[in-house]
Each structure stands twice: as C-alpha cells, then as structure tokens.
Amino acid sequence: MIEALGYYLLLGAVAGTLAGMLGIGGGLIIVPVLAFTFEAQGFDEAIIMHLALGTSLATIIVTSLSSIRTHHRHAAVMWPIVARLSGGIMVGALCGALLADQLASAWLQKVFALFTLLAATQMVLELRPIASRQFPGRAALAGAGVVIGMVSALVGIGGGTMTTPFLLWCNAAARNAIATSAACGLPIAVAGAGGYWIAGSGVVSLPPGSSGYLYWPALLGVVATSVVFASLGARLTHRLPVKVLKKAFALLLLAIGVRLLWV
C-alpha cells in the first residue's frame, strides 16, 4: 500500500503539471496509470477500469474548483453557457457512469483507448474546428451537454477535449472556450463520480477503502499533489517549449492508446 501511495502522489504531480502547462485534462493520463497500478496491486480485473474511471472523475471535482477560480478571476467564463450546458451534462454523465457499469472492464478499456487515440491525433495535427455558427438554443445546448457528459463519464475525463472544440465551433473566443470548458468539468465530475459511486455500491469484489467505484487512497493521493503542481505547470508554460512538449505528450498518448487497445 505504501508503494502504491507513492505512485498516486507521483501521478498527481505529473497530471497536475501537464494540466497546468499544456492546458489538457488530467484524466487522459490518470485513468491508464491508475488502471496499470490497480492491476499491479492485484485488484479484480473485472472492475479495474471502473475503479480507474470513477476515481479519475472524483479527482477532477477538486482540481476543477481551482481552475474555475482562476478563470473566473480573469472574467473568462461564459456562465450563461455553463448554466445551459450543465443540466444536460449532468444527465449525460450520470447515464454514462451507469452505462459503464453494464460494460465489461475490457470493453471500457477499448473505449478509452480509442478516445485517447482520437485525442492524440487531434493534438498532433493541431486540428481545430472552424467557427461557423453561433450558439444554438437552450434545447440544443442541453442536448450537446448530454453527449459531452456521457462520453466524458465513459472515459473518465473532465470533458475539455470535447467541450472546448464545441465552443470554438460556436464562435467563442479561445480564451473563453477554455475557461468555460473548465467550468463545465465540475458538473461532469460531480455527476459522473456520483454515478460510479452508486453503480459500484453493491459490488462485493471492491478493494478496502472504496466507496462504489471510487478508490479513496488513489483519490486522495492524486489530489494531494495535482492541485499543487498545477500552478507549477502554469508557470512552466512561460519557460519551456510548450508546443513541442504538447506534441511529445500526444505521442505518449498514442502509445498508451495502442497499448490499451491491443492488450
């Protein structure tokens, strides 16, 4: 357990630094590392991905609060858009978590792997949607929120990979799109983590220290360092070649995606 706690603390430091420096969600790195660590600890293979996804979403609750505060201080969050997306996001995230409970861990791993490959490809090619429309009405925004929330819960992320491109497509300025996407990560994380907690509450093979599919030793270890190191990552943005590092990270994601897909 002590050795595993060291991995969780290190994972939080790495994920926090990357999130602060590259502007990416930590879930893309937290989920696979948790899955590998849980496997090494001898957890039941049938629930490893469920535990990794649920725990990843729970960490985002804490880290998103820090990010939201920073963006709000700079008046960059489009709160009316957050409000219109959040209802659908929470419904979608809850449904995504409950759907994940019905899927085998191996299938969840492949879903995550495919999503990781898509995200990495987007980062390598620097694909960005063309701002070609204005924001739709409330019903359409709620529908978009359902899709974003469901996919995010299925892959254990805060949704920035999907929300930011959607907002850019709706002609939002890049600064506002990133900030608003960060704010949308909180309802995704709350509803998604809550769904994984509920879905796993009756599972008998959970390791000690679990609440449903949330594994507290990993959750607390990751959060303890990720919040601190996120600010360090933000400072490193001004000192390191971020574009080069982002490409390198994308290549790492490609390797992780291939590894998970073919295991």
| Domain spans, the chain | 2-262
The pLDDT value given to residue 85: 96
Could you tell me the two tokens for 149? 């929330």
pLDDT digits (tens, 9 = 90+) for 167-213: 989 988 888 888 888 889 899 999 999 999 999 998 999 999 999 99
Task: Give the list of residues 6+ apart from residue 122 with CB closer than 8 angstroms, or none.
Answer: 161
Nearest to 163 by CA among 188, 130, 190: 188
pTM of the model: 0.91
Q: Is the pLDDT of residue 79 over 70?
A: yes
The whole-chain average pLDDT of the chain stands at 88
- As a whole-number percent, the residues of the chain with pLDDT over 70 amount to 94
DSSP symbols for 233-252: HHHHTTTS-HHHHHHHHHHH
CB neighbours of 70 closer than 8 A, spacing ≥ 6? none
pLDDT > 80? residue 18:
no
Do 59 and 219 contact (CB within 8 A), yes or no? Answer: yes
pLDDT of 151 strictly over 90: yes
If you average pLDDT over residues 88-103, what whole number do you get? 96
**Higher per-residue confidence, 2 vs 113:** 113
Q: Which residues contact 116 (CB under 8 A, 6 or more apart)?
A: 28, 32, 155, 253, 254, 256, 257, 260
